[in-house]
Chain A
C-alpha cells in the first residue's frame, strides 16, 4: 500500500477453542481502528468470541507457483491419519 492507511487481514473465531479463520480485510490507519472496523463488519452477522487483525504486509506466504516447496523427501504417509484404515466406530449397530 502506498497510502499511510494499510490493509489488515481479519481472522475470526466463532467459538472459544476454535481456530481463527481468515474472513477478509479492512483498510485502517492503525491496528485499533482495524479491530473496530473488523468488529462492525465481520462480527455483526457471525457470532464471535475473538478477532485478530494482522498487517497484510506482515504476512509471509508460500508461493503457489512453487509446488516443490512442499515436495516430500521421505514418505510421511504414516503421519496422515487417513493412511490408517481405522473404522469410525468399533461396534456398529
Chain B
C-alpha cells in the first residue's frame, strides 16, 4: 500500500473525530494533537498531585472520625487521579519521570488554585464544594474528549469528584449550622476562594493560545467562558441558599440572558500564579521536591530489586 500523505491522514483523522469516534493510543495522530494532549493531561496530573497539599495539611487536625476518614480518602483520590492521568499521558509516549522532572523544576504548569493558602478548617469544605464543583464541570466536558484513554480516565475521575463535592458540601453545612465563629469561618473561606475558583477554568478564550486547537480536535468540547458561566450559574444559588454571600456585589441574575453576571477576576493575577509567582507556589514545590528527594532511595531500591527478580526469573 502506498504511504498516505500527511494531508490525507489528517483529513481521515479529523473525519473520525467529527463522527464522534475515539482516538486510541496506537492510532495515527498529528504531532500537535499529541503535544496538546500531553500538555493538558500532564498539567492535570500535576494539579492532582500538588492539590494533595493544601487539604492534606488538615488531615492531622480533621475534627471527628468521619471527617478524618473522608479527608484522607479525598486526598488519596487525588494521588489516585494523578496516577491514572500520568498513565494516560504515558500512552502518548512521555514517561512519568520526565513529567515529574518538569513539575519539580518548575517547568510544567498546574492549576492556579492550589497555590493559595488554607489557613482554616473551613478551607477543606470550601475546596470540596466550590473548587471541586468547578473541576467537575470542566472534567465532565473532558469526559467527552476525543482521546479514548483521557475520556475514560475522566469518566472515572468525575464519579469520584462528585463524591468529593458531596463531602465538601456536607462539611460546609455542618459549619453553617454551628456557632457564629464556625459560620464566619465559612464566609471568610468563600471570600478568599471565589476569584481563584473563577480563574480555574482558564483565561477568556480570546487570551488563550491553546484553546482553539483543543476545541477543533475535540480534546475539549466547551470554551473556558462556557465552563466558567456554568459554574457560576450552578454555585451562586447554592451559596446564597446556605445564607452566605458571594463576594461580588455585581453578581446578579440577568433575566435577559438567563445567566448570572459576575465580575471578571484579575487575569494578571492568574498569569502570575500559573507562572510560579503565587502566594504558595514555592512552598508547594518545595514540599514535592522534599518528598521526591527523600524517596529517591526507595525508588532506586525497588527498581534494583525488580531487575534482580527478573534476572532470576529469566535464568
* Touch test A–B (CB under 8 Å): no
A-side interface residues toward B, CB under 8 Å? none
